[in-house]
């Protein structure tokens, strides 16, 4: 029987492990002989490395797990279902995004028209927010990742504010 910690670690890192496998597959193809296979293997390696970088950034974006609730993303509509709160937020209506840190964790606050939506950074599916926030022009992704990793005291960080109508996300997610 496999230890539960190993199963959990493998599930959490499955995307990165898959991309490492893709890089190794590219290396294997490249070493089979001949210039055509070397080029094909090189292309597979480059694709695998690009996807691995993305997977590692997503992992860094959500370090901790275990907060209650589930995050769902449908196109550019973000939903959060928690034990006490929840709702949906259209990303085209977002006017500001904040990260509220406190000693035991942190949560994202999406502000716009109506009630703000608060989403714990460690809720199930919160890693999807990485892709959603990446569609926002000028969103400080590196700073957001550093703040999620850092934790700290009770502090509110305003990370993004919509400048005008051109600040809306331009592409849908799949």
DSSP string of 98-117, one letter each residue: EEEEETTEEEEEEEESSS-E
pLDDT, tens only, 30-76: 999 899 999 999 999 999 999 998 888 777 766 556 678 899 998 87
pTM beyond cutoff 0.85? no
Q: Does 8 have pLDDT greater than 60?
A: yes
pLDDT on residue 167: 46
Instruction: Of 159, 39, 143, give the one whose Cα is nearest residue 108.
Output: 159
pLDDT on residue 111: 92
């Amino acid at each position: 029987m496999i230890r539960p910690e190993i199963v959990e670690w493998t599930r959490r890192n499955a995307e990165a492990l898959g991309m490492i496998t893709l890089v190794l597959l590219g290396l294997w193809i490249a070493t089979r002989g001949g210039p055509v296979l070397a080029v094909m293997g090189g292309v597979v390696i480059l694709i695998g490395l690009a996807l691995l970088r993305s997977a590692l950034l997503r992992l860094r974006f959500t370090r901790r797990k275990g907060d209650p609730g589930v995050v769902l993303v449908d196109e550019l509509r973000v939903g959060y279902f928690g034990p006490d709160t929840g709702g949906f937020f259209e990303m085209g209506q977002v006017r500001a995004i904040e990260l509220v840190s406190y000693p035991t964790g942190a949560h994202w606050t999406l502000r716009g028209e109506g009630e703000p939506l608060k989403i714990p950074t460690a809720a199930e599916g919160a890693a999807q927010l990485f892709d959603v926030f990446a569609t926002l022009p000028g969103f400080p992704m590196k700073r957001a990742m550093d703040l999620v990793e850092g934790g700290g005291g009770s502090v509110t960080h305003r990370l993004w504010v919509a400048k005008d109508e051109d600040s809306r996300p331009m592409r849908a997610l799949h």
